[in-house]
Amino acid sequence: QVQLVESGGGLVQPGGSLSLSCAASGTRLLIDSMGWYRQAPGKQQELVAIRISGGTTRYADSVKGRFTISREKKNTVSLQMNSLQPEDTAVYYCNGRLLGKNYWGQGTQVTVSS
């Protein structure tokens, strides 16, 4: 069973930076697609950033130029978040897609507030 474990997150002031990391276990296969989604209170879950193993990346328009997704090791994914704003406050979920099935982390809270 594939499991995704996130780390990072927390409280930061507007304009600050945070980094999220996620590591998958339970498979020796390369997880082709890994990324981050978020859900703010009262809102639907939305894609933040995704990276496919071949290098293709996609970002939500709201985070382009501020967030950077990377996959430096097999079956890991990181998200560097700069210039954070209060509207970035949400629970961030790591996602991995393997053999047509989606796997999710438990979520980590990011709060941007002064």
What pLDDT shows up at residue 72?
Answer: 85
Residue with tokens 């978040």, as numbered in its chain? 81
What pLDDT shows up at residue 55?
Answer: 82
CB–CB of 51/34 below 8 Å? yes
What pLDDT shows up at residue 110?
Answer: 98
Q: Please tell me the distance from the alpha carbon of residue 92 to that of residue 12, in angstroms, as a whole number.
A: 14
* 94-24-30 Cα angle (round to 5): 110
Burial 48-66 (b: 16+ CB within 10 A, else e): bbbbeeeeeeebeeebeee
Residue 86 DSSP symbol: G
In order along the chain (114 residues), what is the average pLDDT of each group of 10 residues? 94 98 93 96 96 90 97 93 98 96 96 97
Q: Please tell me the distance from the alpha carbon of residue 4 to that of residue 22, in angstroms, as a whole number.
A: 6
Residue 105: helix, strand or coil by DSSP?
coil
The residues near 96 (Cβ < 8 Å, ≥ 6 apart) are 2, 4, 22, 24, 31, 33, 34, 75, 77, 102, 103
